[in-house]
Each structure stands twice: as structure tokens, then as C-alpha cells.
């Protein structure tokens, strides 16, 4: 979940200045709590546990993960002035994924503690919020004409690229459009997996809540939740796993192609942007 907050911080920093990264990070436990509470409507006991664990998570993350993020940014800076390969991009993203998984692993005790205490009403609140998210996703990625959906993907890609390189020139816009036209991305396939994960999660939580006041054995919670985590991270659908593998390779190639189409000035801007983020992470890592 900290990866989501970090992504938001980078956007905020680009729009409002690098100081926003430090401000947003320091406020992350509160922001995360309120975001989670909007999905679960925590009771008093759950609130105490979640807030304490998020504070502890941030302390660990500041000490152990931010230096690793800073190092990853330093490596990206070293590559940015020249051309890059698909393999180099995938290696950087693989490292980033490993760091994200470390955060999820650190959150495991919190999830194990909270999941069996959620009641039927809280699970219903969660389900309603997920459906709201699904409606928004469908409106952006599944509904409307193919041209409209393609334009949305191009616009999203351009916004992400401009965070680092500044304004896109026609050569870069062409690279983005070409990568999207060749992409294996299928919104229906992605949506089906999203719904599968949501229904799997809801079913697991409902099974705990069905006990209605009966203490769920810790061993059962641990077994059921770890099985759920595995299904969330590694889909039981072999076809979907192959699909994600293909998209990952295509995504790395698209980023490499876009970067290699940029000018020296745009690459210099990317280096400067990455340096700013690295400095913020190193300052945050050293603060308490």
C-alpha cells in the first residue's frame, strides 16, 4: 500500500514541487488509515491496531526501504542519459516489484489480525466500494468506442511520460501510439481477473465472519489468508499469468522505445527529476 502512496507522492511532486514528496510521506500513515477506513469502516479496536501498525510500518519503511528506493533511482539516473534496452528496464522494474512485495509481507501480521474481526456489515461496505471502483474502471477502459478507449490509453501514457521528460514531441507521441497499437492489453481480460480477485477476497472474509462471534483459530486464519495472498499475487489462471508476462515484456519494451526517442534535453530533465526524488528519499530515510 505504501507503493500506492509513493506513486501519488511522485505525481504531487511533479505538479507542486519536490517538497510535496516529504510532506506527503510524513503524512502517509494518516492518509493510508483514512483510505482504508473508507473501505472497511473500522471499529474502535480495529482502528487502534491499524493506526499503530501503520506507524510501525512507516518507521520500518523509512529505515529499510527508502534507502533501497533511493539506490534504485540512482541506478535509473545512470541509465537515463543514454539509450536503454528492454532488459535494463525490466531489471529496474523487477527490483521495484521486489521492494513492493517486501511491504506486503511486512503488512501480513496486520491483515491476519484484522481479517477475522471484520463483520458482515463491514464486508458489505467493502463490496460496495469495490463495485464503485469497478464502475469507474469500466467507464474508462471497457465502455465507449475502440477509438475512445485507445485515446484514453494514449493520454494516460503521455501524462506519465511528461512527469519525467516534460512536453512530448511528435516523435515521442508516435512511439507511444505505436506501442499501444501493438500491445496485447485486453481490458476485458484484465477486468475479469480484477473481479476474480475481489470475489476471492470477499469470500475468504465472509467465511471468517460466518462464525458470528466464534473465535477463528489462528492457524486457520494464517492458512486461509496465505492461500489468498498467493492467489492474489499469482493467478490460478495459467492463461492470465501468460498474459501478464507478455504485457510486462511489452511494457518494458515500450518504455525503452519511448526513452530512446527522447532528446538530450528531455533525458537531462528526467535525470534532474530522478535526482530530486532520490534526494527526497534519502532525506526522509535520515529523519525520524
CA distance 137 to 139: 5
pLDDT of residue 72: 94
CA distance 49 to 107: 12
83-101 tens-digit pLDDT: 999 999 999 999 999 998 9
Residue whose C-alpha cell reads 511486512 in the numeric block: 106
Question: Is the model more confident about 18 or about 195?
Answer: 195
pLDDT of residue 86: 96
21-64 tens-digit pLDDT: 888 889 999 999 999 999 999 999 999 999 999 999 999 999 99
pLDDT of residue 144: 87
Asked whether residue 200 carries a pLDDT value surpassing 70, the answer given is yes
Q: What percent of the chain has pLDDT over 70?
A: 92
Q: What is the dihedral of CA 188, 190, 196, 199, to 10 degrees?
A: -90
CA distance 278 to 70: 5
Per-residue pLDDT band for 17 (boundaries 50, 70, 90) equals very low
SS3 (DSSP) at 18: coil
108-121 tens-digit pLDDT: 999 999 999 999 99
Question: Is the model more confident about 246 or about 288?
Answer: 246
pLDDT of residue 23: 85
Cell of 50: 491499524
For the full predicted model, state whether its pTM sits above 0.85.
Answer: yes
Per-residue pLDDT band for 274 (boundaries 50, 70, 90) equals very high
Q: Say if residues 72 and 102 touch (Cβ distance below 8 Å).
A: no
pLDDT of residue 20: 73
CA distance 36 to 40: 6
90 Cβ neighbours under 8 A, 6+ residues apart: 248, 249, 252
pLDDT of residue 216: 76
Cell of 168: 512530448
CA distance 149 to 142: 7
Amino acid at each position: 500500500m505504501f507503493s500506492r502512496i509513493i506513486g501519488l507522492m511522485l505525481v504531487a511532486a511533479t505538479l507542486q514541487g519536490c517538497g510535496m514528496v516529504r510532506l506527503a510521506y510524513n503524512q502517509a500513515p494518516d492518509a493510508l488509515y483514512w483510505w482504508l477506513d473508507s473501505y472497511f469502516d473500522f471499529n474502535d479496536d480495529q482502528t487502534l491496531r491499524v493506526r499503530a501498525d501503520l506507524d510501525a510500518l512507516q518507521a520500518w519503511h523509512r529505515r529499510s526501504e527508502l534507502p533501497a528506493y533511493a539506490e534504485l533511482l540512482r541506478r535509473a539516473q545512470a541509465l537515463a542519459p543514454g539509450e536503454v534496452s528492454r532488459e535494463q528496464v525490466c531489471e529496474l522494474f523487477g527490483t521495484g516489484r521486489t521492494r513492493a512485495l517486501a511491504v506486503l509481507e511486512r503488512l501480513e501480521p496486520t491483515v491476519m489480525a484484522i481479517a477475522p474481526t471484520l463483520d458482515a456489515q463491514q464486508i458489505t461496505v467493502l463490496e460496495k466500494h469495490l463495485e464503485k471502483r469497478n464502475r469507474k474502471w469500466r467507464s474508462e477502459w471497457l465502455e465507449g468506442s475502440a477509438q475512445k478507449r485507445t485515446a484514453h490509453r494514449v493520454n494516460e501514457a503521455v501524462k506519465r511520460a511528461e512527469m519525467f521528460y516534460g512536453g512530448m514531441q511528435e516523435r515521442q507521441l508516435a512511439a507511444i501510439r505505436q506501442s499501444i497499437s501493438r500491445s496485447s492489453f485486453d481490458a476485458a481480460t484484465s477486468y475479469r481477473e480484477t473481479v476474480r480477485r475481489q470475489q476471492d477476497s470477499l469470500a475468504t472474509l465472509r467465511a471468517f465472519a460466518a462464525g458470528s462471534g466464534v473465535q477463528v483459530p489462528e492457524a486457520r486464519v494464517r492458512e486461509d489468508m496465505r492461500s489468498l495472498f498467493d492467489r492474489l499475487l499469482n493467478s490460478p489462471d495459467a492463461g492470465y499469468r501468460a498474459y501478464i508476462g507478455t504485457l510486462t515484456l511489452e511494457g518494458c519494451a515500450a518504455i525503452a522505445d519511448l526513452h530512446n526517442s527522447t532528446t538530450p534535453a528531455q533525458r537531462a530533465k528526467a535525470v534532474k527529476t530522478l535526482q530530486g526524488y532520490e534526494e527526497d528519499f534519502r532525506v526522509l530515510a535520515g529523519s525520524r
